């Protein structure tokens, strides 16, 4: 992975308020960058790179699904190159929320986050 191509021309697409963290979404030419800041360490954080095709795949394949969790998405996905883990699934769902193609379903109060895909 080339760092200069990864970070050049990034567009800020929005932020997502999850249960304990805020995620910031940036879009590149062929990928998304999902960033979050550490709650305990000042000036520290994490980022994940997500292929743009993963967001397109989930949007098409799961359009109209209600109360979808990252676990559900991971189990139902037929593309392990896009959704190989629950973390991959969660990052894609955050991207879709930032792009206004999904919404966090606040009716559920358990530990898992539930999403409604448009």
Radius of gyration (Cα) for the chain, nearest Å? 14
Reported as a single tens digit per residue, the pLDDT across 27-73 is: 999 999 999 999 899 899 999 999 999 999 999 999 999 999 999 99
Q: What are the Cα distances from residue 40, in Å, to 19, 21, 44, 71? A: 16, 12, 9, 27
Do residues 118 and 101 lie in contact, with contact meaning Cβ atoms separated by under 8 Å? Answer: yes
Give the model's confidence band at 107: pLDDT under 50 very low, under 70 low, under 90 confident, else very high: very high
The predicted pLDDT at position 6 comes to 79
Mean pLDDT of the chain: 95
For range 5-27, the mean pLDDT:
93
The predicted pLDDT at position 114 comes to 97
- % the chain with pLDDT above 90: 86
């Amino acid at each position: 992975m080339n760092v200069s191509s990864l970070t050049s021309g990034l567009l800020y697409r929005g932020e997502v308020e999850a249960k304990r963290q805020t995620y910031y979404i940036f879009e590149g030419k062929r990928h998304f960058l999902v960033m979050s800041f550490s709650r305990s360490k000042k000036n520290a954080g994490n980022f994940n790179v997500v292929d743009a095709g993963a967001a397109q795949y989930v949007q098409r394949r799961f359009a109209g699904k209600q109360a979808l969790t990252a676990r559900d998405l991971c189990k139902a996905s037929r593309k392990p190159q896009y959704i190989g883990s629950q973390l991959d699934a969660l990052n894609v769902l955050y991207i879709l929320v930032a792009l206004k193609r999904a919404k966090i379903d606040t009716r559920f109060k358990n530990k898992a986050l539930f999403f409604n895909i448009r």
